Amino acid sequence: MMPIDIRENLNQVFRKVFSNPSIEIHEAMTAADVKGWDSLSHVVLIFAIEKQFKISFTTKEVNSLKNIGDLIRLTDKKLNHAL
C-alpha cells in the first residue's frame, strides 16, 4: 500500500471547499490567508477532510489547530493511529 500524501490530499480538499484551483497550502497558512474561510466554511472544511481521509476529529482537536501545519500533523497522527 502506498503512503498517502497528506499535504497533497489536503490541498485538493481546500481547492474543492473554497472553489479555488490555485490554492497552495503551506505550514504557516491560517484562515486569514484564504479568501472565504469563515466559521461556516471551516465546518465544511473539517467535514470534507474527515470524509476524504476517513477519520474523525474531536471538537477539542479542531479548536487547538493554529495553522495548516497543525492540521497536517493532526491528520497524520489520526491516519497512523488508525493503522
Indicate which CATH number applies to the domain containing 27.
1.10.1200.10
Residues of the domain holding 72 = 6-82
Q: Are 14 and 23 in contact (CB under 8 A)?
A: yes
Task: Please state at what angle helix 6-17 crosses helix 68-82, rounded to 10 degrees.
Answer: 120
Q: What is the pTM of this model?
A: 0.91
Is residue 17 included in any domain, yes or no?
yes
Q: Residue 13: what pLDDT?
A: 98
- Asked if residue 45 is part of any domain, the answer here is yes
pLDDT truncated to tens, each residue of the chain (83 aa)? Answer: 445 699 999 999 999 999 999 999 999 999 999 999 999 999 999 999 999 999 999 999 999 999 999 999 999 999 987 65
Looking at residue 3, what is its pLDDT? 56
